[in-house]
Amino acid sequence: MVPLTWYLILAAALFCIGLFGVLARKNAVAVLMGVELMLNAVNINLLAFWRYTALGQLVGQAFAVFVITVAAAEAAVGVALFIAIYRQRDTVNVEELDDMKG
């Protein structure tokens, strides 16, 4: 059986890729995709720890399902926001979106 550590390393790598995408990408849609990657990295961790430590219970799978649901909703809201921003500003480059200043 594949040791737990490998899953955790995979999840961490996936999380880092997602994080990089969030921090470094200029396209808002790519940033959203980075967020999806980070969420899925968490899902991997949830399932891995469930399988190795709490096999008799359903908590890990239940959490993972919730995360996927929230991620779907978040992606929908996020894309809707980008479309609205795009309509107003004609861009979705996050470098130009600095309205949170002062």
Could you list the residues that contact other proteins (CB under 8 A)? 19, 22-24, 31, 94-95, 97-102
Following DSSP, what letter does each residue of 71-100 receive, concatenated? Answer: HHHHHHHHHHHHHHHHHHHS--BTTT--TT
Q: Judged by CB, which is closer to other proteins: 56, or 102?
A: 102
Nearest distance, CB of residue 74 and other proteins, angstroms: 15
Nearer to other proteins, 65 or 83 (CB): 83
Terminal-residue alpha carbon distance, the chain: 54
Record the tokens describing residue 62, joined without a space.
């239940």
**Contact (CB, 8 A) for 22 and 35:** yes
CB of 68 to other proteins, least distance (A): 23
Q: Of 87 and 101, which CB lies nearer to other proteins in the complex structure?
A: 101
